Amino acid sequence: MRQISSFLEPVDYIIIVGYLLVLVAFGYYISFVKNKKSDENLFLAGNTLGWTSIGLNMWGTNVGPSMLIASASVGFTSGIVAGNFAWYAFVFILLLAVVFSPRYMGAKVLTLPEFMGKRFGDSTRNILAWYTLITILISWLSLTLFAGGVLVQQLLDLPMYLSVIMMVILSGFFAAAGGLKAIAYTNVFQMLLLIAVSLLLVVMGVEKAGGLEAIYAQTPGSYWNLLLPADDKNYPWIAIVLGYPIMGVWFWCTDQSMVQSVLGAKNLKEGQLGANFIGWLKILDVPLFILPGIVCYVLFPHLKNPDEAYMTMVTQLFPAGLRGLIIVVLIAALISTIGSALNSLSTVFTMDIYVKKYNPEASQKTIVKTGRLVVFFGSLLSIFITLGIDSIKGLNLFDIFQSVLGFIAPPMSVVFLFGVLWNKTTTKAANWTLTLGTFISIGIGVLYLWVFPNEVYQWPHFLLLSFYIFVGLSVMAYLITIFDKAGQKDHQTLLRINPEAKPDKQVKILWVLLCLVMVALYLIFNGH
């Protein structure tokens, strides 16, 4: 495929530059003009987020350019099976809403390491703080910057280092200047734009392919099944059913970048409604991001590189002007994910390491200044890591993203589930699971991805490996707790949900409706 930039015309560049200028101006207005209070909490938006901002911000953090390209690529080769990573998530978003968020917000914490510090003590909080920083730096910042750098490199014909620096400057501006509030407000507009443009691409593609019935007739039946046979090479149903929950609990219930929007809610109800909203938004992932790949399979069946499916659709179907608009949407998604990650990195370091260990009496002004310095240095470090990742070739971006998450997830999932659901879980069990468990989990991941690659050596599916590691670490946490003579002090006050904080009627109705819709979708998209 020709360089994407060769398809662009002057009107496309005008739209790109104009949008970016509007975005910067809007961010400046939110950050420095609109009711800026000197004592406002930089990290949790002063607890002012409503359910729409929470849902759109979480979705914006989750939706990156790598998802658009990788999802279309998977759609081109396998159909909607990758939709499990979006639709199966409702179970764990519900878990966040009704099990975790009442306890997080009831404890009045800024970060999840702070919550676990109240549960297990400062030693666990310190381990979790550094664990979270490394996770954000690698899985959110550097991998996202790499995917975005590749995309911008293709779109604007820029070298990798300039592409990455441009993304960091734009994202860092919002994270450093206005914190979560600037990111959340701009995300509302960006995500609405993403929905509109992606929907337009799908409609134009489906129309050109002759309609949904024609697309269904020209694709294998397996393309429309969410659960594939147990012997399927890429996505066996057993791996998804058993393995994804480990990733789902970690990602949706314990990851600072995702949960932070709920922590910034006006109140618990708004947080629970916001979580419900992203559950509905995740339904859109399949028609907006995977379906274009399936349509591309029908329209351009001889495409050599499936990773080009999304941009092939854009360049072949969109006229001048709309091509610039889709580039704007992709850049907006980059800014959203990277900006939220930078803000989370800043929050964890500032509150869980700097304030907790080194300057407990720090003023709000000092805290904000420190947070902005963390954004700056975190941005620099992520650039160098990204350029190092750029030297790695021949990796499938979608599977690498999912497998990295799969190997990061088990220790965190075990510690948070045991810590929240079993009052007897001890500090020793939590710390050993986080330290030794992380060494085991990441070590197996390194062996699987690099030392003894799966394409040469016959490993179980990476999702099954994640499940096996989770089971092993759960047994370890249980045994350590049982044999820990020191025991653990009672945490019923911290872990019990206040009866007044339980979901009200509106929240319950919306969650019941979402669950019914998701069950119906799984019934419809199987047996083809």
**Looking at residue 196, which CATH number applies to its domain?**
1.20.1730.10
- The answer to the question of residue 182 being in a domain is yes
**297/448 Cα distance (integer angstroms):** 30
pLDDT at 104 over 80: yes
- The answer to the question of residue 40 being in a domain is no
Torsion sign across C-alpha atoms 75, 79, 85, 87: positive
Using pLDDT thresholds of 50, 70 and 90, give the confidence band for residue 184.
low
Using pLDDT thresholds of 50, 70 and 90, give the confidence band for residue 128.
confident
Instruction: Please tell me the predicted confidence (pLDDT) of residue 305.
Output: 77
Task: State which amino acid sits at residue 135.
Answer: T
Give the mean pLDDT of 222-246.
93
Range of the domain at 93: 12-30+50-525
Which has more pLDDT, 364 or 440?
A: 440
**What average pLDDT does the chain have?**
83
H helix intervals, 4-121: 10-28, 51-62, 65-78, 84-87, 90-95, 101-106, 112-120
- The answer to the question of residue 35 being in a domain is no
| Count of C-beta atoms within a 10 Å radius of residue 258 | 23
Using pLDDT thresholds of 50, 70 and 90, give the confidence band for residue 154.
low
Give the mean pLDDT of 419-441.
93
pLDDT at 180 over 60: no
**324/13 Cα distance (integer angstroms):** 6
Structure tokens at 10: 């002057």
Which has more pLDDT, 67 or 236?
A: 236
**490/341 Cα distance (integer angstroms):** 34
- Provide DSSP, 416-450: HHHHHH-TT--HHHHHHHHHHHHHHHHHHHHIIII
Least confident of 78-82, 213-217, 374-378: 374-378
Using pLDDT thresholds of 50, 70 and 90, give the confidence band for residue 394.
very low
Using pLDDT thresholds of 50, 70 and 90, give the confidence band for residue 168.
confident
Using pLDDT thresholds of 50, 70 and 90, give the confidence band for residue 287.
very high
Q: How far is CA 412 from CA 89, 97, 129, 288, 480, in A?
A: 17, 18, 12, 31, 16
Least confident of 148-157, 463-472, 511-520: 148-157
**307/69 Cα distance (integer angstroms):** 6
49 has which bridge partners? 265
Give the mean pLDDT of 252-281.
89
Query: pTM above 0.85?
Result: no
Which has more pLDDT, 8 or 269?
A: 269
- The answer to the question of residue 54 being in a domain is yes
- The answer to the question of residue 271 being in a domain is yes
Least confident of 156-160, 246-250, 267-271, 317-321: 156-160
Using pLDDT thresholds of 50, 70 and 90, give the confidence band for residue 179.
very low
Instruction: Please tell me the predicted confidence (pLDDT) of residue 454.
Output: 74
Which has more pLDDT, 366 or 338?
A: 366
- The answer to the question of residue 340 being in a domain is yes
Q: What tens digit of pLDDT does each residue of 6-45 get? A: 777 888 888 888 877 776 676 667 656 654 554 444 444 4
Identify which of 408, 351, 350, 352 has the alpha carbon closest to the alpha carbon of residue 377.
350
Instruction: Please tell me the predicted confidence (pLDDT) of residue 173.
Output: 65
- The answer to the question of residue 357 being in a domain is yes
pLDDT at 270 over 50: yes
pLDDT at 90 over 50: yes
pLDDT at 147 over 60: yes
228 has which bridge partners? 236
Give the mean pLDDT of 482-494.
82
Which has more pLDDT, 495 or 416?
A: 416
**161/163 Cα distance (integer angstroms):** 5
- The answer to the question of residue 196 being in a domain is yes
Number of domains in the chain: 1
Structure tokens at 437: 């468990």
Instruction: Please tell me the predicted confidence (pLDDT) of residue 38.
Output: 46
Angle of CA points 11, 16, 22, to nearest 5°: 120
